[in-house]
Structures are given as C-alpha cells and as structure tokens.
Chain A
Amino acid sequence: MSNIALIGEREVIIGFNLIGLNILPVCGNEEASKALKECIQQQYAIVFITNEVAKTMIREIEEYQKKSKTAICILPSLLGKSNICMNVLRKNVEKAVGTDILFRNEG
C-alpha cells in the first residue's frame, strides 16, 4: 500500500492508479470530505487533491493542514485559470510577510 493518496474526479486521476498512488475517486462535496477525513485518519504522508474538488471544501483542507502532519497539496486546475492553490499560497505569503509580494508585479 502506498502512502500517497489522490482525491479527485475519476476521469482525471484514474491514470495515477497504475503509477502506484492510492486514488480515491469522488463526486460531490460530502464524498470528498469523507475521503479526506479517511486519508487523515490513515496517516498518509501526502494527500493530493485536484483543484475542482478542493474548491468545495477549502475550509476543511485548511483546518487539516494546520492540525495534522499529512501534507495536503492542491493540484493546479486543468480548466481555466482559477487556481485555489495560488490563493492559498498568496494568503500564506500575506500572513507571513505582511504584504502580497508574489503577485505585486502583475497587478
């Protein structure tokens, strides 16, 4: 059993099953949060979550990121530019440095 898990839509993540990651295909908010909870309880080293699934439960993810040792990593979106992981990153930078130095040049 691998200690890396991948939560996401079935079509997107199923290929990773052959590579050796543990995949947890979900659809809908409830299934996703249940899967995440299970991953945390089973003490996976890393949990990857696709952008679209992470969108529905960003609060839970942040909570688990603070509480548990498991690294929860949000994968970049495959559709369009709306990236949750970037928002999380930006928020962290703002919290740490006091100002948004990452995206300053763009805006």
Chain B
Amino acid sequence: MLLAVNPNRMELLRLKRRLALAKRGYKLLKDKRDALIQKFIKIVQENLKTREEFDKKMRENINLFLVSTLAMTNNEQNAIFQFPQRDIKVKVIHQNIMSVNVPHYEMTDEGNPYPYGFIQTSPELDIAIKKYKDLIPLMLKMAELDKAVLLLTEEIEKTRRRVNALEYVMIPNLEDTIKFITMKLDEMARSSSSALMRIKEIIRGE
C-alpha cells in the first residue's frame, strides 16, 4: 500500500531515512523477541520442575498433617493454630530480564513455629509443621516463576506484534512508496528531457 505523500525529492529523502530506521528497529526487535523466548522457555521449564517438586512434597506432607490433626476437635485446633508466633515477610526486589521487571522475593522469618504444648499434640504435627516450613522457599520460587512467566508472556506478545507490524506492514509500505516516488521522479525527468529535445528540434528547424 502506498503512503499518502507528495512525490518529490524531499519526501523521498525523508522516507529513505524512515526506512533505514524501521529496518534497524526491526532487526533489534527481532533479536529481542528471540532472546525473550529463549529466556521464557527456560523459566517455564524451571517452573514445571519446581511445581512437580512442590507437588510431591506437599502430598506427603498433607497426609501427615491431616493424620496429626484428625483426632482433634475444632476447638483444640483453634487453640493451637489461632495464635501463631512466627512471621514471614518477603522483600520484593525487581530484576531486569530484557527490560521486563521481574520480581524476586527474599524471605525473612522470625519466631517460634511451635507455639503449643507438646503434651496435647502428636509428634507427627511437629514433623508436619517442620516440613511446611521447609516448603516455604519452594512456594516463593513458584510464585516468582509464575509472575515471571506472566510478565514475559505479555512482553513477548507485544514484541511479536511490533516485529510483525514492521515486517509485514511498515517496511513494505515504505519500500513501495519509495519505489513509486523514484519512478515518478524518473518519469518527470524523462518527460522534461524529451520535451527539451523536441523544443531544440523545433528551434533548429526554424
């Protein structure tokens, strides 16, 4: 498709400059897209692996935990679980992956995870709680990777649209228009030179 411009030398120069810029941008964006996809696949695979690991550990753990709390009444459970003495906080640090801000979580924890009497509870509960505690870093990693996948997906989609727009719309349009203007200018040059030749002939005839 031709752009709506006047066929003159000024426009030609301007368009040529724009074409060079578009081509450079296209190349850069294509590189960015490829790099993003490479990173993305790596993150997705890591995500899958983390999920599998978590799944396995959690399955073992939940059974242990349910068995240990099975014999308790609701009130007893509340007495144990209602007032935790432990606190976990995460600090969000942003990492830059190919101009995408991906969060990285750093955990700080403090306090006693066993704020209950050991006489009323079974040892399984202690083990289960300990295992839960060990699960937390895995969960944080999972959340981190999930968010990264989401953010990278959006960025890749955006970049791909840009690459495609440049490759299939912008650059062909510019090239067509440049060709049109060059041909028009050549045509004008030819017509003026032939007119000159004709005028010369006429003058010579007289």
Contacts and interface: CB of A to CB of B under 8 A. Distances in A.
Q: Which of A12, A21, A101 has the most CB of B within 10 A?
A: A21
Contacts of B143: 46, 48, 71, 73
Interface residues of A, number: 36
Contacts of A18: 80-81, 84, 86, 113-115, 129, 132
A2 B88 contact: yes
Contact of A20 (B44, B87, B114): B87
Q: Which of A48, A89, A95 has the most CB of B within 10 A?
A: A89
A65 B59 contact: no
A19 B140 CA distance: 14
Contacts of B69: 11, 14-15
Q: Which of A18, A73, A76, A95 has the most CB of B within 10 A?
A: A18
A2 B139 CA distance: 15
Contacts of A89: 44, 47-48, 146, 149
A102 B58 contact: no
A54 to B, nearest CB: 12
Nearest to B86: A20
Contacts, number: 115
Q: Which of A11, A46, A66, A86 has the most CB of B within 10 A?
A: A46
A58 interface: no
Nearest to B140: A46
Contact of B40 (A19, A71, A78, A97): A97
A14 B114 CA distance: 14
A14 B159 CA distance: 43
Q: Which 6 A-B pairs have the closest CB atoms?
A: A20-B88, A20-B86, A73-B143, A71-B147, A76-B55, A96-B156
Given A19-B84, A76-B58, 18 more contacts: A2-B88, A3-B89, A12-B62, A18-B80, A19-B88, A19-B132, A20-B88, A20-B109, A46-B143, A48-B139, A71-B146, A72-B146, A75-B142, A78-B62, A95-B153, A96-B37, A96-B40, A102-B48
